[in-house]
């Protein structure tokens, strides 16, 4: 059965497309299932591991309260889907598990009991997540972390599963980096993955199947390592893009034809990107350390996690180097701007000195023309008389004002 779902769930002003995958091998990636089929398959998984879940029956740690019965949470299928098909489980998965439960003692079914499944759930609402958590006896704190969608990245080990909260980063419609939360609940023989919207690392994880001998999930921890590896790949790509931008900015600082405002804006964006990447990687480094401290019996998974942590450390060093280069570029940019301003200031000083020289040359003529243009009797005129009192008084006042201002300027240090 290969049914396609195009169901939208309204949550406030958001509408989320619901996609459910049940994956055991590479060919399962194109199959999508309804929520009711997910419920039925979940019961089959619990029935397959009945002895494991029976050990938890006396525990009091489990299960968030159901807000609604899951019968009211079934999504609407596309046209041409029969109601009888809604309650059937995909034969590729359910028939194997049901047959093995009936023939539990048959040696031919021993390999099937070791099959590992990855249940990928995108866009489920809170009530549907509550139903899934109830079926698998998931702690209510884990349930709250999943529905909150803003919990910090962490790794928590419970009695029967490992919970990992992580995130990937991508560009939104406004070309701004933002995080998208991913929640993994790792059991011994299956993995639950919750996310509210499409994630880029899904395709990367599916590509990881090509490294497997039989294109089939070997262990549940393999899914965890593949997700972490895919997320690391996204950060690595962004770090490479950042280094390319750093090299471009380094060349731009030596070019005069590049607008200073453009260089300043691009430099600021690169610094902000480097800071954000480094802060997100520090959080993931803590998660990796926590995972390695957990009691993971899968030695191959531990080896894979150590490899991811080493590459994460090298990626941090690479981004720190980018930050240092950006700081140097910023210093060069500031020095270049200061040099340009000094040159402009020097040019302005030369222009002002020339103007001051011209002013000094023409100042006596201006003063004389002003003095002899006064409407008073003054020496040198044809009809002048011997009474020059007004002329003498004005000249004396001007000399006195100049002397007083000269003394004042000298005391104030102006000259």
Q: How, if at all, do strands 117-122 and 190-195 pair?
A: parallel
Given 157, 192, 217, the domain boundary residue is 217
- Same domain for 341 and 354, yes or no, is yes
Reported as a pLDDT band with limits 50, 70 and 90, residue 92 is very low
- Same domain for 380 and 356, yes or no, is no
**At residue 103, does pLDDT exceed 70?**
no
Q: How, if at all, do strands 7-11 and 117-122 pair?
A: unpaired
Summarised one tens digit per residue, pLDDT across range 201-239 is 999 999 998 888 888 899 999 999 999 999 999 999 999
Spell out where 48-96 has E strands. none
Q: 166-187 burial by CB neighbour count: b if 16+ within 10 A, else e? A: bbbbeeeeeeeeeebbbbbbbb
Bridge partners of 163, per DSSP, are: 156, 185
**At residue 21, does pLDDT exceed 90?**
yes
Summarised one tens digit per residue, pLDDT across range 141-150 is 999 999 987 7
Neighbours of 212 (CB within 10 A): 13
pLDDT of residue 368: 80
C-alpha span between 300 and 322 (Å, rounded): 33
- Same domain for 358 and 376, yes or no, is no
C-alpha span between 182 and 7 (Å, rounded): 20
Residues 6+ apart with CB under 8 A from 259: none
Reported as a pLDDT band with limits 50, 70 and 90, residue 311 is very high
**If you compute the radius of gyration of the chain from its CA atoms, what whole number of angstroms results?**
39
Whole-number average pLDDT of the chain:
80
- Same domain for 58 and 88, yes or no, is yes
Decide: 187 and 136 in contact? Cβ < 8 Å: yes
Summarised one tens digit per residue, pLDDT across range 263-279 is 888 999 999 999 999 98
Bridge partners of 119, per DSSP, are: 22, 192
Half-sphere exposure of 115 (CA within 13 A, CB side): 24
C-alpha span between 307 and 332 (Å, rounded): 38
Among 3, 157, 145, 134, residue whose Cα is nearest residue 67: 134
pLDDT of residue 58: 47
* Burial status of residue 244 (CB atoms within 10 A of its CB: 0-12, 13-18, 19 or more): exposed
Domain with 261 in it: 219-371
Summarised one tens digit per residue, pLDDT across range 270-307 is 999 999 999 889 889 889 988 888 777 788 889 999 99
Number of domains in the chain: 3
Among 3, 177, 160, 183, residue whose Cα is nearest residue 90: 3
- Same domain for 346 and 413, yes or no, is no
Of all residues in the chain, the percent with pLDDT exceeding 90 is 40
Residues 6+ apart with CB under 8 A from 136: 42, 45, 46, 161, 185, 187, 192
pLDDT of residue 374: 79
- Same domain for 334 and 410, yes or no, is no
- Same domain for 253 and 366, yes or no, is yes
- Same domain for 202 and 243, yes or no, is no
- Same domain for 117 and 30, yes or no, is yes
* Residue with the two structure tokens 């030596």: 254
- Same domain for 14 and 87, yes or no, is yes
pLDDT of residue 294: 76
Given 169, 191, 217, the domain boundary residue is 217
DSSP secondary-structure letter at 71?
G
CATH number at residue 242: 1.20.58.340
Q: Per-residue pLDDT averaged across 152-164, rounded?
A: 90
Residues 6+ apart with CB under 8 A from 398: none
- Same domain for 271 and 330, yes or no, is yes
- Same domain for 312 and 323, yes or no, is yes
**At residue 4, does pLDDT exceed 80?**
no
Given 173, 199, 217, the domain boundary residue is 217
Comparing 10-14, 115-119, 136-140, 204-208, the range with the smallest average pLDDT is: 10-14
Summarised one tens digit per residue, pLDDT across range 320-379 is 999 999 999 999 888 888 888 899 999 999 999 889 888 888 888 888 888 777 777 777
Reported as a pLDDT band with limits 50, 70 and 90, residue 381 is low
């Amino acid at each position: 059965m290969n049914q396609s779902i195009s169901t939208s769930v309204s949550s406030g002003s958001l509408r989320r497309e619901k996609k459910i995958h049940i994956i055991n091998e590479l060919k399962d990636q194109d199959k999508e299932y309804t929520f009711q089929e997910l419920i039925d398959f979940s019961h089959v998984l619990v029935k397959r591991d009945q002895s494991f879940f029976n050990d938890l029956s006396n525990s009091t740690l489990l299960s968030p309260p159901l807000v609604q019965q899951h019968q009211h949470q079934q999504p609407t299928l596309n046209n041409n889907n029969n109601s009888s098909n809604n309650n059937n489980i995909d034969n590729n998965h359910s028939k194997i598990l049901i047959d093995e439960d009936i023939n539990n003692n048959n040696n031919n079914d021993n390999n099937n009991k070791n099959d590992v499944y990855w249940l990928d759930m995108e866009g489920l609402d809170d009530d549907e997540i509550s139903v899934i958590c109830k079926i698998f006896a998931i702690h209510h704190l884990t349930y709250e972390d999943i529905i909150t969608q803003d919990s910090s990245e962490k790794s928590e080990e419970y009695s029967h599963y490992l919970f990992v909260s992580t995130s990937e980063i991508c560009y939104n419609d406004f070309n701004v980096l933002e995080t998208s939360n991913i929640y993994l609940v790792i059991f011994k023989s299956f993995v639950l993955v919750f996310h509210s919207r499409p994630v880029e690392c899904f395709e990367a994880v599916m590509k990881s199947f090509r490294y497997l001998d039989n294109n089939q999930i070997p262990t549940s921890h393999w899914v965890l390592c593949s997700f972490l590896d895919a997320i690391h790949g996204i950060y690595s790509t962004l770090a490479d893009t950042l280094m390319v931008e750093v090299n471009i900015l380094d060349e731009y600082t030596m070019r005069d034809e590049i607008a200073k405002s453009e260089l300043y804006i691009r430099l600021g964006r690169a610094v902000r990107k480097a800071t954000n990447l480094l802060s997100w990687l520090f959080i993931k480094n803590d998660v990796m350390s926590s995972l390695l401290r957990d009691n993971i019996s899968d030695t191959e998974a531990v080896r894979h996690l150590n490899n991811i942590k080493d590459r994460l450390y090298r990626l941090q060093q690479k981004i720190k180097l980018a930050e240092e280069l950006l700081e140097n570029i910023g210093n060069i940019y500031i020095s270049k701007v200061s040099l340009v301003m000094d040159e402009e200031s020097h040019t302005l000083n030369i222009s002002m000195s020339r103007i001051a020289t011209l002013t000094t040359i023409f100042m006596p003529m201006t003063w004389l023309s002003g003095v002899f243009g006064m409407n008073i009797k003054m020496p040198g005129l044809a009809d002048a008389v011997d009474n020059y009192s007004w002329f003498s008084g004005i000249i004396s006042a001007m000399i006195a004002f100049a002397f007083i201002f000269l003394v004042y300027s000298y005391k104030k240090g102006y000259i």
